[in-house]
A and B are shown apart, each in its own frame.
Chain A
Amino acid sequence: MAHIETELLYTRNYRADAVNLGKPEAFPYFPATAFSANTLSEIKEAYRQGYTYIRTNNPDRDVLASMVTALEAPGLDKDTLIFASGMASISTTVGSILNPGDHVICNKFIYGETFDVWGKMYAKFGVEYDFVDMSDVANVAAAIKPNTKMIYSEVCANPTMNVIDIPAMAELAHKNGALLMMDNTFTTAVSIKPLTLGADIVISSMTKFMSGHSDIILGCMTASHEIIEQVRPMRMLFGTPADPFPCFQMIRALETVTLRVEKQMSNAAKLAKFFESDKHIVKVNHPSLDSWAGRETAKKLWSDDEKMSGMMSIILCTEDEAKIDAFMAKLHFVHYATTLGGMRTTLNHPVTSSHSHMPDENRRAIGITPGMFRVSVGIENIDDLIADFKQAFEALD
């Protein structure tokens, strides 16, 4: 097999006989909601191995799915489904697999709306759940019940970056007949491939690092053919297959994903070192740092500090809002955005946004304070990036 950089430029799996394509250098955009046929036998053939209705199948969606499989599961016999968003990939997959009476163990460090998938969506239909600190596998082992069907975590948690021992967690899950489902949004397959470490299902909000251009909302889910074929018909009913235009955009974006994400990860490791050494920062959450609580687990998952994640969070030396505002205003090109993973370095303030509804005490208990910023590192020149933060930190003095 070719290296992934090459593979991504040549993987174009779709039902080639069903679309009259010629040999375009870039894959075309297929907006058609349906394909036509002349006779009943042609219709039968279309249902068997061609394209029919857009929600069932679409060439752009197929090509994108094959690229994600190549990224997430090299050498493994897996398949991918593409969804209208990362949330769609989570809620559709969960709803296809879990039954009333099933139990889920979910990492307590997790994206807010994933919390709600358990608490607000599936709880009313009889799915049980427990939130557990999964940084220690023993905590999860203690929470396992006979009806535990799924263990769920993010590779790097939002915003505290908590990691879990994926191989050990997979072993624990499988020993108990449960599936391990991982969210790879903050890391991408360029950094880590949870399926190769024993996870059963990997999902991502492709909106973030995989896209990198901040102009697409999409999600993906990669798993065994058995799981994929269980979820595929349910995706039809949830109405969550991705539209062709964002798929077309994403095909284009993935062609540069290795360049972008590798640069973002190496910038992040360098920036983390700078933050750690700067007096204006009291804490840096990034798996490359020896000072970080999850460092030992991180070493099991990654061998290269510069190939971990483009995300981190930092805690400033002050919680004074006027000083924080002055710091933000002083930044030249680093800026605040309500998303992450883009090519430009952006900040997010969990206390004002994702965790605004949580009482201060509870927030502090999981390490989120008013001085915390989540940093999504871009592909800028690293010296420029460090200099921009350095000059803006003066506002905190």
Chain B
Amino acid sequence: MIGEFDSSFEFATNILEAGAYFREPTSNPEQLPIHLATAHNVNDLDDLQKRYDEKGFCYNRYRNPNRSALNELMTYVENGADSTTFNSGMAAICATIVANTKAGDHVVSGDTLYGESLEVFTKITGKYGVDYTFVDICDLDAVKAAMRPNTVMVYGETVANPVIAVPDIKALSEIAHANNALLIIDNTFMTGALFRPLDFGADIVVSSLTKFANGHSDSTAGAVTSKDPALVKKSFDMQQLMGNQASPFDSWLTCRGLRTLDLRVKKQSDNACALAKMFAESPYVEAVYHPSLESNPYHEIATKQFGKYYGPMLSVVLPDDREKMNKFMRSMKLCHYAMTLGGYRTSMSYPPMSSHSDLTREERYAMGITDGLLRFSCGIEDTEDLVADMKRALEEAYGA
């Protein structure tokens, strides 16, 4: 019986019972508490049935208050009807792909996805008999040509890595739906604050919340959101078997991070636009990939989909000179190399040695990933400080 504390037992017993439950009402705290408990208790079988009936909390891996709060928040952020949240972005992606395919099915996917998303198709579902075709999903004719009668899924990213290519989501959804396939879009690089793929016809949106959504580089989580609760349920059911649900503490941290998403990611996008302009004007930079630039091939579709926020990610191509690139990296005061992205500080990564290190040089060059490519994830620093710092670093490394 879960009642008042009764001190009539031995010390070894009492020490487990004293303070085991909150005695006073704890409703409506200004910030959500962290519910670490793996289980919520009941008094008898009627109480247990009541708990099931009112959809109360039972076992943590199944449902947890912090995870439910994050689900509600992500459902709003991505404008869906329901969400389920995972231990990581990869967990969300993997569970959703596995849940919606079976041996004999075929998938059409973007060819420049995050490396490990591609590997879900080649190493997991591929191994178990799900066929796949990788295409440039910005090329709608190529996508149409890749569709087969057994194609069940078209998969892509809102902004393709690392050349910041922008596919036409509405057109992709029409191609997918004409073939009774689902369109699944990874919205990690934009977030629902800048662009909501579900409003443009995507069936499921997946996100790594680890990046811009949380923004503080201190939690790992992923989300699946859809306007169709049945699709979310499919990912949720697979989550139970894969056991890759978001932990309560990381759910709590991510909720906390998301409160400032609107401020952060818009500022990050503005900083990316300002940096893109500076890089485009620099004599030392060979190419700049950011759709805010009018010369960028994706400028028109990006403006149509994103409005004035072109996103916080950009890439540049510098001269193929390791020594000068090292000097440039060391000269920057406001940007550092990080093995992640989306944090509040500007960071960079070098795809040839990180995300695309498994590819041969030829394969990389075919994807536009040259030895001079640097990718930036813009932070929320003062815009003038950031632009001036990078301009100075370029001059120090490549000038004179």
Contact = CB atoms under 8 A, between A and B. Distances in A.
A243 B339 contact: no
Given A238-B244, A239-B91, A352 B45 contact: yes
Contacts of A240: 87-88, 91, 242-244
Contacts of B350: 40, 43
Interface string A313-346: 0000000010011001111110111110011101
Interface stretch (B58-66, B178-186, B281-289, B386-394): B58-66
Interface centre among B36, B219, B238, B244 (most CB of A within 10 A): B244
A272 interface: no
Contact of A125 (B86, B95, B128, B250): B128
A83 interface: yes
A379 B58 CA distance: 23
B243 A243 contact: no
B222 A239 contact: yes
Contacts of A353: 48
B337 A380 contact: no
B340 A384 contact: no
Contacts, number: 266
A54 B220 CA distance: 8
Nearest to A246: B247
B129 interface: yes
B339 A87 contact: no
Contacts of B127: 99-100
B45 A349 contact: yes
A70 interface: no
B218 A381 contact: no
A234 interface: yes
Contacts of A367: none
Interface string B39-51: 1111111111100
A86 B243 CA distance: 7
A360 interface: no
B242 A378 contact: no
A239 B90 contact: yes
Given A99-B127, A328-B45, A84 B247 contact: yes
Nearest to A345: B16
B123 interface: yes
B218 A31 contact: yes
Given A44-B353, A237-B119, A237-B120, A113 B240 contact: yes
Nearest to A51: B339
Interface string A238-249: 111111011001
A90 interface: yes
A220 B148 CA distance: 41
Contact of A55 (B47, B103, B128, B220): B220
Interface stretch (B74-82, B139-147, B266-274, B322-330): B322-330
Interface in B1-48: 1-2, 6, 9-13, 16-17, 20, 36-48
Contacts of A122: 128
B182 to A, nearest CB: 16
Given A92-B242, A380-B12, A40 B88 contact: no
A325 B220 contact: no
A67 interface: no
Interface in B236-276: 237-238, 240-245, 247, 249-250, 253
Interface in A200-223: 207, 211, 214-217, 219
A121 B39 CA distance: 25
B73 interface: no
A39 B327 CA distance: 8
B160 interface: no
Contacts of A132: none
Given A31-B218, A38-B337, A126-B128, A344 B43 contact: no
B238 A121 contact: yes
A125 B129 contact: yes
Given A87-B242, A125-B103, A216-B36, A381 B59 contact: no
Interface in A112-140: 113, 116-117, 120-122, 124-127
Interface centre among B103, B238, B329, B339 (most CB of A within 10 A): B339
B347 interface: yes
A162 interface: no
Nearest to A327: B44
Contacts of B45: 321, 324-325, 328, 349, 352
A91 B124 CA distance: 12
A291 interface: no
B258 to A, nearest CB: 15
B39 A54 contact: no
A324 B48 CA distance: 13
Given A83-B243, A238-B124, A239-B90, A31 B1 contact: no
A54 B20 CA distance: 34
B43 A336 contact: yes
Contacts of A35: 338-339
A52 B103 contact: no
Contacts of B340: 33-34, 53-54
Interface centre among B45, B93, B243, B339 (most CB of A within 10 A): B243
B376 to A, nearest CB: 14
B178 to A, nearest CB: 25
A92 B238 CA distance: 12
A266 to B, nearest CB: 12
Contact of A214 (B37, B92, B222, B250): B37
A384 B44 contact: no
Interface string B335-356: 0111110010001001001100
Contacts of A121: 98, 238, 241-242
Given A91-B242, A125-B129, 4 more contacts: A36-B347, A92-B242, A239-B88, A385-B13
Interface of A: 31-44, 46-47, 52-56, 83-92, 95, 99-100, 113, 116-117, 120-122, 124-127, 207, 211, 214-217, 219, 233-234, 236-243, 245-246, 249, 321, 324-325, 328-333, 335-339, 342-344, 346, 349, 352-353, 378-381, 383-385
18 contacts: A31-B218, A34-B339, A38-B330, A43-B354, A47-B353, A85-B61, A86-B243, A88-B243, A91-B242, A113-B240, A121-B242, A125-B128, A125-B129, A216-B36, A216-B38, A333-B17, A336-B47, A383-B10
Interface of B: 1-2, 6, 9-13, 16-17, 20, 36-49, 58-61, 86-95, 98, 102-103, 116, 119-120, 123-125, 127-130, 210, 217-220, 222, 237-238, 240-245, 247, 249-250, 253, 322, 325-326, 329-330, 336-340, 343, 347, 350, 353-354, 357
